[in-house]
Structure 1
Amino acid sequence: MLRWILGGLAALVVIILIAAHGPGALRAYKFEPTAPDPALMALYETVAEPVLREVPNLHGAEDLEPGPDGRLYASLADGRIMAREIDGGWSEFANTNGRPLGLAFAPDGALFVADALKGLLRLEDDGAFDVWLADESEGGPLVFTDDLTVLSDGAVILTDASRRYGYGEYMTSLLEGEQTGVIYKVTGPDQYEVLADGFGFINGVDHDPSTGRVFVNETWAGRVISLDPGTGDYAVLIDGLPGYPDNLAFDEETGLIWIALPSQRSPQIESLHPNPFLKRLAWRWIQIAGLPPFPPRPVMGMALNAEGEPVHALYGPDNAPFGVTTVTPWRGQIWVAGLERDGVDAYAVPEAIQ
């Protein structure tokens, strides 16, 4: 009898080890982000309604970017880049024929695009896109080209969200807790250097033109960092965010940093991060039963001052299947849209946090 019991236990151990490390196993990593700060979540109490909703064939506006011509630009899921006139009305401005994500204008007015399928692109005067840094599918170094900002000297600060997973695979990146995101400094076609790396899905980026300081969202870590673009040195600006930060927009008029939070944090997934072995076993269960329920994904945004202190909290309805990936100030209102949402909404600026 004892032999049968020991044999059964040995078989069970073998099954568990195969489940955790066998073919198709999750390459899980230990990851210990700061837990969400309850004081920050408490800022989201009163639900505001948008003052304007626009859905003129605008699906998947992952980023919104004010242009030097006064118009508002949006990057859509079908490859188009749209422009909104000040008085209303959207029109096609360009098309990457890929998946444009982050948009940024250079000091000379040129549009740069972080295209998740093609890489870092620059729109030329003839309407064609010049590839400054290509996706790995085209022989370049980029895997998940995500967002960018262009400094006063023309250098591009670019985020490659993950060196392991490309566009559409972000949930696997979160489950693994992998930290391979890279921040590049690009000074010309195929001229680049790594400023910093080892991030848990490095994402939205913008900068303060008056100081040159760069601000970047590290999504899975739930934090924002402040980066010196000359040295690559960085410090945490705010940690313990109540959601996973995505795009980031610096408002030159107010000096505030607006961050989009497309989803609240997942306690089920994050509870597994400290133990990769358990995470590998959970992955096998997920393959059978599916992902755990997604956390709430209302409209959420936060504005920080230069010290990382919250100044505004934008909280909108939870009536769409996907949250917002961009929260952008434009002409006295806060404009929001999302990677997988329909349309673009505008909100009144929330009252300042007391």
Structure 2
Amino acid sequence: MDRPSALTPRHYVAIGGHGPEDVVADARGRVLTGVADGRILRIDGLTEPLTARVEVLAETGGRPLGLQLLPDDALLVCDAERGLLGVDLADGTVRVVADEVAGERLRFTSNVVALSDGSVYFTVSSRRYPLDQWIGDIVEHTGTGRLLRLAPGDDTPEVLLDGLQFANGLAASADESFLVVAETGARRLTRYWLDGPSAGRAEPHAENLPGMPDNIWRGGPDGPVWVSLAGPRIPPLDLLH
């Protein structure tokens, strides 16, 4: 059995912002994240935390959450207040990619992935509660989360899954045959098939997690799905649900 490689020592890097949510790394190892005041930041030189450089790339005017880098020096941003946005990393221009679905204004878009065919998939955590009232959705167990798809060239997304319990992090399989959605409120991961005999169907991927899953990320083409837990299970809340 191969021995696991040692973990990189943790250290603190001050970025001059509050509440970084998703993080993505570009080909040069620079890390991009969004903070509570709407800025999209890029951090370089992370191997030397005391001298790391922080650059402001854009301001969304809302609250950026999930991020997805695109190959043409662009960035997709799930903004909890403005919907799905596109950011030109060269000049900081921000445009709205999608802000409604089926005539309903998008609120609380959470995470996004783009596949090789140009299709974009993203989650909506709640149709009832905004980000600053997220705890209301978790407690009430509203089940209004969604998984949406935006086809190449379209500007109107379609609903693939409804009734999710606070849909959050999103990741694609290596062969892009399925997606994994984190349902924070249900403490589970759900698999949605994109290809094969089960295409269009959802099923449990991992259930009864020890905490509430938030962001998820695939560690390379053949890597596992890493799951961040936003908090431990709360027995009274489990009983309430």
Query: Could you tell me which of 113, 116, 139 is aligned with 1:149?
Result: 113
The residue that corresponds to 1:53 in the other structure is: 12
Counterpart AA for 2:192: L
**Counterpart of 1:271 in 2: which secondary structure?**
helix
Counterpart AA for 2:202: Y
Aligned residues: 224
Please give the residue correspondences for 1:108-257 in structure 2 after superposition, counting only pairs within 5 Å. 108-124=72-88, 126-134=91-99, 141-187=105-151, 188=153, 190-229=155-194, 231-252=199-220, 254-257=222-225
Residue 31 of structure 2 corresponds to residue 72 of structure 1: yes
So what's the TM-score if we normalise by structure 2?
0.85
Following superposition, the deviation at residue 90 of structure 1 comes to 1.8
State the identity %: 35
Structure 1 residues 51-86: Cα deviation after superposition (integer angstroms, max 9, x where no partner): 211123132001111124431111111111111124
So what's the TM-score if we normalise by structure 1?
0.59
Unaligned residue ranges in structure 1 (runs of 5+): 1-47, 274-354
The residue that corresponds to 1:94 in the other structure is: 58
**Structure 1 residues 176, 201: closer, same or farther in 2, change over 3 A?**
same
Counterpart AA for 1:250: R
Paired with 1:58 and 1:102, the residues of 2 have a C-alpha distance of 16
Paired with 2:122 and 2:176, the residues of 1 have a C-alpha distance of 18
More strand by share: 2
Please give the residue correspondences for 1:243-282 in structure 2 after superposition, counting only pairs within 5 Å. 243-252=211-220, 254-273=222-241
Unaligned residue ranges in structure 2 (runs of 5+): 1-6
Paired with 2:176 and 2:185, the residues of 1 have a C-alpha distance of 27
The residue that corresponds to 1:334 in the other structure is: none
User: CA RMSD for the aligned pairs?
Assistant: 2.2
Tell whether the 8 Å contact from 1:151 to 1:212 is kept in structure 2 after alignment.
no
Of 254-263 and 224-233, deviating more is 224-233
Following superposition, the deviation at residue 172 of structure 1 comes to 0.8
**Structure 1 residues 130, 212: closer, same or farther in 2, change over 3 A?**
farther
More helix by share: 1
Counterpart AA for 1:55: A
Counterpart AA for 1:56: I
Paired with 2:60 and 2:194, the residues of 1 have a C-alpha distance of 28
